[in-house]
Protein backbone atom coordinates (compact mmCIF):
# COMPACT_ATOMS: atom_id res chain seq x y z
CA UNK A 1 0.00 0.00 0.00
CA UNK A 2 2.81 2.39 0.89
CA UNK A 3 4.60 1.52 -2.36
CA UNK A 4 1.42 2.25 -4.34
CA UNK A 5 1.04 5.56 -2.56
CA UNK A 6 4.64 6.50 -3.42
CA UNK A 7 4.09 5.55 -7.06
CA UNK A 8 0.94 7.65 -7.26
CA UNK A 9 2.75 10.58 -5.67
CA UNK A 10 5.62 10.36 -8.16
CA UNK A 11 3.14 10.01 -11.02
CA UNK A 12 1.25 13.10 -9.85
CA UNK A 13 4.46 15.11 -9.64
CA UNK A 14 5.50 13.94 -13.12
CA UNK A 15 2.11 14.81 -14.63
CA UNK A 16 2.13 18.26 -12.98
CA UNK A 17 5.64 18.86 -14.31
CA UNK A 18 4.63 17.81 -17.82
CA UNK A 19 1.55 20.03 -17.73
CA UNK A 20 3.60 22.96 -16.43
CA UNK A 21 6.25 22.72 -19.14
CA UNK A 22 3.61 22.13 -21.81
CA UNK A 23 1.96 25.36 -20.71
CA UNK A 24 5.30 27.20 -20.79
CA UNK A 25 6.25 26.07 -24.29
CA UNK A 26 2.76 26.45 -25.76
CA UNK A 27 2.50 29.98 -24.41
CA UNK A 28 6.02 30.74 -25.70
CA UNK A 29 4.88 29.71 -29.15
CA UNK A 30 1.72 31.78 -28.92
CA UNK A 31 3.64 34.88 -27.79
CA UNK A 32 6.21 34.42 -30.54
CA UNK A 33 3.44 34.17 -33.14
CA UNK A 34 1.80 37.37 -31.90
CA UNK A 35 5.06 39.31 -31.95
CA UNK A 36 5.92 37.93 -35.39
CA UNK A 37 2.61 39.27 -36.70
CA UNK A 38 3.40 42.65 -35.12
CA UNK A 39 6.78 42.64 -36.86
CA UNK A 40 5.28 41.78 -40.23
CA UNK A 41 2.64 44.50 -39.78
CA UNK A 42 5.35 47.05 -38.94
CA UNK A 43 7.43 46.05 -41.97
CA UNK A 44 4.34 46.31 -44.18
CA UNK A 45 3.61 49.82 -42.96
CA UNK A 46 7.17 51.07 -43.40
CA UNK A 47 10.26 48.86 -43.63
CA UNK A 48 12.67 51.79 -43.40
CA UNK A 49 11.06 53.01 -40.17
CA UNK A 50 10.96 49.51 -38.71
CA UNK A 51 14.70 49.02 -39.00
CA UNK A 52 15.70 52.60 -38.22
CA UNK A 53 17.98 53.08 -35.23
CA UNK A 54 19.51 56.34 -34.05
CA UNK A 55 23.17 56.11 -33.05
CA UNK A 56 23.69 57.18 -29.43
CA UNK A 57 27.38 57.59 -28.65
CA UNK A 58 27.26 59.91 -25.65
CA UNK A 59 25.23 59.47 -22.44
CA UNK A 60 22.67 62.12 -21.47
CA UNK A 61 23.94 64.58 -18.87
CA UNK A 62 21.51 63.27 -16.24
CA UNK A 63 23.53 60.05 -15.97
CA UNK A 64 26.50 62.03 -14.71
CA UNK A 65 24.58 64.30 -12.35
CA UNK A 66 26.84 64.66 -9.29
CA UNK A 67 23.82 65.12 -7.00
CA UNK A 68 22.98 61.44 -7.56
CA UNK A 69 26.30 60.15 -6.26
CA UNK A 70 29.59 58.72 -7.45
CA UNK A 71 30.02 56.09 -10.15
CA UNK A 72 31.98 53.16 -8.73
CA UNK A 73 33.12 49.71 -9.87
CA UNK A 74 33.99 46.55 -8.00
CA UNK A 75 35.33 43.27 -9.39
CA UNK A 76 34.11 40.13 -7.66
CA UNK A 77 36.92 37.64 -7.09
CA UNK A 78 34.97 34.38 -7.46
CA UNK A 79 32.91 35.25 -10.57
CA UNK A 80 35.45 37.63 -12.08
CA UNK A 81 32.64 40.02 -13.01
CA UNK A 82 32.95 43.78 -12.67
CA UNK A 83 29.87 45.47 -11.20
CA UNK A 84 28.91 49.10 -11.63
CA UNK A 85 27.02 51.03 -8.98
CA UNK A 86 26.26 54.60 -7.97
CA UNK A 87 26.86 55.41 -4.31
CA UNK A 88 26.01 58.39 -2.14
CA UNK A 89 25.99 59.13 1.59
CA UNK A 90 28.91 58.81 3.97
CA UNK A 91 30.91 55.62 4.16
CA UNK A 92 30.37 53.89 7.48
CA UNK A 93 26.68 54.71 7.67
CA UNK A 94 24.24 51.77 7.47
CA UNK A 95 24.01 50.39 3.95
CA UNK A 96 20.87 50.72 1.82
CA UNK A 97 21.18 48.53 -1.28
CA UNK A 98 18.84 49.20 -4.22
CA UNK A 99 18.04 46.52 -6.84
CA UNK A 100 16.30 47.66 -10.02
CA UNK A 101 13.85 45.82 -12.26
CA UNK A 102 13.42 45.33 -16.02
CA UNK A 103 13.96 47.26 -18.22
CA UNK A 104 15.69 49.56 -15.77
CA UNK A 105 19.15 50.22 -14.33
CA UNK A 106 20.60 52.17 -11.41
CA UNK A 107 18.99 55.42 -12.60
CA UNK A 108 15.50 54.21 -11.68
CA UNK A 109 16.51 54.94 -8.04
CA UNK A 110 17.52 58.57 -8.65
CA UNK A 111 14.83 59.90 -6.27
CA UNK A 112 15.87 57.51 -3.51
CA UNK A 113 19.59 58.22 -3.94
CA UNK A 114 18.93 61.87 -3.15
CA UNK A 115 16.46 61.15 -0.34
CA UNK A 116 18.17 58.61 1.90
CA UNK A 117 21.81 59.72 1.75
CA UNK A 118 21.41 61.75 4.94
CA UNK A 119 21.26 58.62 7.11
CA UNK A 120 22.47 55.79 4.86
CA UNK A 121 25.25 54.80 2.54
CA UNK A 122 22.96 54.36 -0.48
CA UNK A 123 24.12 52.07 -3.30
CA UNK A 124 22.14 51.65 -6.53
CA UNK A 125 23.49 48.62 -8.34
CA UNK A 126 23.47 47.70 -12.02
CA UNK A 127 22.55 44.01 -11.84
CA UNK A 128 24.51 41.36 -13.68
CA UNK A 129 24.14 41.98 -17.44
CA UNK A 130 22.74 45.51 -17.07
CA UNK A 131 24.27 48.87 -17.95
CA UNK A 132 27.98 49.10 -17.16
CA UNK A 133 28.07 45.83 -15.20
CA UNK A 134 29.66 42.89 -17.02
CA UNK A 135 27.30 40.68 -19.02
CA UNK A 136 28.21 36.98 -19.34
CA UNK A 137 27.21 35.53 -22.69
CA UNK A 138 25.52 32.27 -21.70
CA UNK A 139 22.03 32.09 -20.22
CA UNK A 140 23.25 29.63 -17.57
CA UNK A 141 25.16 32.53 -16.01
CA UNK A 142 21.86 34.18 -15.07
CA UNK A 143 20.38 31.51 -12.85
CA UNK A 144 18.82 32.75 -9.65
CA UNK A 145 21.63 31.20 -7.60
CA UNK A 146 24.14 33.39 -9.47
CA UNK A 147 22.06 36.54 -8.91
CA UNK A 148 21.73 35.82 -5.19
CA UNK A 149 25.47 35.21 -4.88
CA UNK A 150 26.15 38.50 -6.69
CA UNK A 151 24.37 40.49 -3.99
CA UNK A 152 26.14 38.60 -1.19
CA UNK A 153 29.52 39.22 -2.85
CA UNK A 154 28.73 42.91 -3.40
CA UNK A 155 27.95 43.30 0.30
CA UNK A 156 31.24 41.66 1.22
CA UNK A 157 33.15 43.84 -1.25
CA UNK A 158 31.59 46.99 0.18
CA UNK A 159 32.67 45.96 3.67
CA UNK A 160 29.19 45.31 5.05
CA UNK A 161 27.63 42.23 6.60
CA UNK A 162 24.01 43.45 6.41
CA UNK A 163 21.86 46.11 4.78
CA UNK A 164 18.44 47.58 4.24
CA UNK A 165 17.50 45.83 1.00
CA UNK A 166 15.08 47.42 -1.48
CA UNK A 167 14.05 45.83 -4.76
CA UNK A 168 11.61 46.73 -7.51
CA UNK A 169 10.11 44.31 -10.06
CA UNK A 170 12.81 41.73 -10.94
CA UNK A 171 15.03 43.33 -8.32
CA UNK A 172 12.17 42.62 -5.91
CA UNK A 173 12.33 38.94 -6.83
CA UNK A 174 16.06 38.90 -6.03
CA UNK A 175 15.44 40.80 -2.78
CA UNK A 176 12.90 38.18 -1.65
CA UNK A 177 15.40 35.42 -2.42
CA UNK A 178 18.20 37.13 -0.50
CA UNK A 179 15.91 37.51 2.53
CA UNK A 180 14.99 33.81 2.30
CA UNK A 181 18.50 32.44 1.75
CA UNK A 182 20.55 34.90 3.80
CA UNK A 183 18.23 36.43 6.41
CA UNK A 184 21.20 37.54 8.53
CA UNK A 185 22.19 39.92 5.70
CA UNK A 186 18.92 41.86 5.66
CA UNK A 187 18.02 44.27 8.46
CA UNK A 188 14.78 45.27 6.76
CA UNK A 189 13.28 44.21 3.45
CA UNK A 190 11.35 46.56 1.17
CA UNK A 191 9.86 45.22 -2.05
CA UNK A 192 8.05 47.28 -4.67
CA UNK A 193 5.57 45.65 -7.02
CA UNK A 194 6.67 42.04 -6.81
CA UNK A 195 5.02 39.33 -4.70
CA UNK A 196 6.74 36.52 -2.86
CA UNK A 197 8.13 34.22 -5.62
CA UNK A 198 5.97 31.25 -4.59
CA UNK A 199 2.85 33.41 -4.68
CA UNK A 200 3.77 34.45 -8.22
CA UNK A 201 4.29 30.90 -9.53
CA UNK A 202 1.14 29.53 -7.89
CA UNK A 203 -1.05 32.46 -8.84
CA UNK A 204 0.01 32.58 -12.49
CA UNK A 205 -1.07 28.96 -13.03
CA UNK A 206 -4.54 29.56 -11.58
CA UNK A 207 -5.43 32.97 -12.96
CA UNK A 208 -5.50 33.48 -16.75
CA UNK A 209 -5.48 37.28 -16.31
CA UNK A 210 -2.06 37.13 -14.63
CA UNK A 211 -0.83 34.67 -17.24
CA UNK A 212 -1.68 37.26 -19.87
CA UNK A 213 -0.06 40.10 -17.91
CA UNK A 214 3.11 38.03 -17.53
CA UNK A 215 3.32 37.12 -21.20
CA UNK A 216 6.79 38.67 -21.46
CA UNK A 217 8.15 35.97 -19.12
CA UNK A 218 7.19 33.40 -21.74
CA UNK A 219 8.16 35.45 -24.77
CA UNK A 220 11.63 35.97 -23.30
CA UNK A 221 12.29 32.20 -23.33
CA UNK A 222 12.82 32.43 -27.08
CA UNK A 223 16.41 33.07 -28.26
CA UNK A 224 17.37 36.48 -29.81
CA UNK A 225 13.86 37.37 -31.10
CA UNK A 226 12.79 39.36 -27.99
CA UNK A 227 15.99 41.45 -28.16
CA UNK A 228 15.29 42.15 -31.80
CA UNK A 229 11.67 43.16 -31.18
CA UNK A 230 12.75 45.60 -28.47
CA UNK A 231 15.18 47.29 -30.85
CA UNK A 232 12.97 47.84 -33.92
CA UNK A 233 11.51 51.28 -34.63
CA UNK A 234 14.37 52.81 -32.63
CA UNK A 235 13.37 51.01 -29.41
CA UNK A 236 9.70 51.92 -29.69
CA UNK A 237 8.72 49.04 -27.36
CA UNK A 238 10.94 50.43 -24.61
CA UNK A 239 9.49 53.91 -25.01
CA UNK A 240 5.97 52.43 -24.95
CA UNK A 241 6.58 50.65 -21.64
CA UNK A 242 7.44 53.90 -19.88
CA UNK A 243 5.12 56.37 -21.64
CA UNK A 244 1.95 54.63 -22.85
CA UNK A 245 -1.38 55.12 -21.13
CA UNK A 246 -1.69 51.40 -20.36
CA UNK A 247 1.75 50.67 -18.90
CA UNK A 248 3.63 53.95 -18.50
CA UNK A 249 4.71 56.32 -15.77
CA UNK A 250 2.75 59.42 -14.95
CA UNK A 251 -0.95 58.90 -14.59
CA UNK A 252 -1.06 61.35 -11.69
CA UNK A 253 2.55 61.53 -10.57
CA UNK A 254 5.97 62.38 -11.98
CA UNK A 255 6.45 61.88 -15.68
CA UNK A 256 9.72 60.89 -17.26
CA UNK A 257 11.43 63.90 -18.78
CA UNK A 258 12.73 63.66 -22.34
CA UNK A 259 16.22 63.33 -20.89
CA UNK A 260 15.12 60.56 -18.48
CA UNK A 261 13.65 58.56 -21.35
CA UNK A 262 16.73 59.14 -23.46
CA UNK A 263 18.86 57.79 -20.59
CA UNK A 264 16.99 54.48 -20.73
CA UNK A 265 17.21 54.27 -24.51
CA UNK A 266 20.90 55.16 -24.45
CA UNK A 267 21.72 52.34 -22.00
CA UNK A 268 19.68 49.65 -23.76
CA UNK A 269 20.70 50.70 -27.27
CA UNK A 270 24.36 49.86 -26.67
CA UNK A 271 25.59 46.74 -28.52
CA UNK A 272 24.36 43.59 -26.77
CA UNK A 273 22.78 45.59 -23.94
CA UNK A 274 19.49 43.66 -24.04
CA UNK A 275 20.95 40.14 -23.99
CA UNK A 276 21.89 40.11 -20.31
CA UNK A 277 18.62 41.61 -18.99
CA UNK A 278 16.48 39.19 -20.98
CA UNK A 279 18.71 36.24 -20.04
CA UNK A 280 17.64 36.84 -16.43
CA UNK A 281 14.20 35.54 -17.42
CA UNK A 282 15.44 32.54 -19.39
CA UNK A 283 16.11 30.46 -16.28
CA UNK A 284 13.15 31.36 -14.10
CA UNK A 285 10.92 28.39 -14.87
CA UNK A 286 13.62 25.89 -13.90
CA UNK A 287 14.26 27.65 -10.56
CA UNK A 288 10.73 28.11 -9.20
CA UNK A 289 8.88 27.23 -7.02
CA UNK A 290 11.29 27.48 -4.11
CA UNK A 291 12.09 24.65 -1.70
CA UNK A 292 12.68 27.09 1.16
CA UNK A 293 10.31 30.00 1.14
CA UNK A 294 9.71 31.60 4.54
CA UNK A 295 10.87 35.18 5.19
CA UNK A 296 11.89 36.06 8.74
CA UNK A 297 12.85 39.70 8.12
CA UNK A 298 10.61 42.72 8.85
CA UNK A 299 9.05 43.46 5.47
CA UNK A 300 7.35 46.34 3.71
CA UNK A 301 5.56 45.60 0.43
CA UNK A 302 4.56 48.61 -1.69
CA UNK A 303 2.20 48.13 -4.60
CA UNK A 304 0.76 50.27 -7.39
CA UNK A 305 -2.90 49.40 -7.82
CA UNK A 306 -2.79 50.12 -11.56
CA UNK A 307 0.19 47.86 -12.20
CA UNK A 308 -0.25 46.59 -15.75
CA UNK A 309 1.91 43.50 -15.11
CA UNK A 310 0.94 42.25 -11.65
CA UNK A 311 -2.45 41.53 -10.09
CA UNK A 312 -2.87 43.28 -6.73
CA UNK A 313 -4.35 40.14 -5.15
CA UNK A 314 -0.86 38.61 -5.11
CA UNK A 315 0.26 41.32 -2.71
CA UNK A 316 -2.43 40.32 -0.21
CA UNK A 317 -1.48 36.64 -0.37
CA UNK A 318 2.22 37.36 0.18
CA UNK A 319 1.79 37.96 3.92
CA UNK A 320 1.43 34.22 4.63
CA UNK A 321 5.12 33.77 3.73
CA UNK A 322 6.45 36.43 6.11
CA UNK A 323 6.99 35.18 9.67
CA UNK A 324 7.79 38.62 11.02
CA UNK A 325 6.37 42.13 10.96
CA UNK A 326 4.69 42.67 7.56
CA UNK A 327 3.14 45.81 6.18
CA UNK A 328 1.40 46.13 2.82
CA UNK A 329 0.55 49.51 1.30
CA UNK A 330 -1.34 49.64 -1.99
CA UNK A 331 -1.36 53.04 -3.70
CA UNK A 332 -4.41 53.77 -5.83
CA UNK A 333 -4.06 55.06 -9.39
CA UNK A 334 -0.33 54.33 -9.43
CA UNK A 335 1.43 52.20 -12.03
CA UNK A 336 4.11 49.52 -11.92
CA UNK A 337 6.90 52.12 -11.79
CA UNK A 338 6.05 53.17 -8.25
CA UNK A 339 9.30 54.68 -6.97
CA UNK A 340 9.63 56.84 -10.09
CA UNK A 341 5.99 57.87 -10.43
CA UNK A 342 5.28 58.75 -6.79
CA UNK A 343 8.74 59.23 -5.24
CA UNK A 344 7.60 61.55 -2.43
CA UNK A 345 4.95 59.13 -1.19
CA UNK A 346 7.21 56.09 -1.59
CA UNK A 347 10.08 57.79 0.22
CA UNK A 348 7.80 58.81 3.08
CA UNK A 349 6.48 55.25 3.44
CA UNK A 350 10.02 53.88 3.46
CA UNK A 351 11.14 56.40 6.09
CA UNK A 352 8.19 55.47 8.30
CA UNK A 353 8.98 51.77 8.02
CA UNK A 354 12.69 52.25 8.67
CA UNK A 355 12.06 54.26 11.84
CA UNK A 356 9.50 51.83 13.24
CA UNK A 357 10.41 49.39 15.96
CA UNK A 358 9.29 46.10 14.49
CA UNK A 359 8.95 42.84 16.33
CA UNK A 360 8.80 39.26 15.21
CA UNK A 361 5.39 37.64 14.89
CA UNK A 362 4.68 34.72 17.19
Cα separation, 106 vs 63, in Å, equals: 10
Instruction: Give the chain's largest Cα–Cα span.
Output: 71
Q: Which residues contact 288 (CB under 8 A, 6 or more apart)?
A: 197, 198, 200, 201
What are the φ/ψ torsions at residue 286 (nearest 5 degrees)?
-90, -10
Length of the chain: 362
Cα separation, 159 vs 162, in Å, equals: 9
Catalytic residue among 150, 169, 260, 307: 169
In 170-276, the DSSP E strands lie at 186-192
Please confirm, yes or no, whether 336 is among the known catalytic residues: yes
Residues in a beta bridge with 168? 192
Cα separation, 148 vs 151, in Å, equals: 5
Please confirm, yes or no, whether 307 is among the known catalytic residues: no
Cα separation, 192 vs 167, in Å, equals: 6
Residue-wise over 246-275: b if at least 16 C-beta within 10 A, else e? Answer: ebbbeeebeebeeebbbbbbbbbbeeebbb
Catalytic residue among 111, 196, 280, 336: 336
Cα separation, 223 vs 74, in Å, equals: 30
Q: Which residues contact 319 (CB under 8 A, 6 or more apart)?
A: 326, 328
Catalytic residue among 35, 130, 281, 321: 281
Contact assessment for residue 75 and residue 81, using Cβ atoms and an 8 Å cutoff: yes
| Residues with a known catalytic role | 169, 281, 336
Amino acid sequence: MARLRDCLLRLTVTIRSLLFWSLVYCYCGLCASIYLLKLLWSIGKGPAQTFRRVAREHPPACLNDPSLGTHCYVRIKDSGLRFHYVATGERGKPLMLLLHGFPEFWYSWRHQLREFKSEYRVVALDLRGYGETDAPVHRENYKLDCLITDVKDILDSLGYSKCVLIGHDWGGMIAWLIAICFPEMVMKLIVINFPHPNVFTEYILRHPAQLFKSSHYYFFQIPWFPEFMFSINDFKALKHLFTSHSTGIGRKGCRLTTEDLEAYIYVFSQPGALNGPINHYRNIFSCLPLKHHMVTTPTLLLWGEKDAFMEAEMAEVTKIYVKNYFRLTILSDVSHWLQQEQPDIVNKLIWTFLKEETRRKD
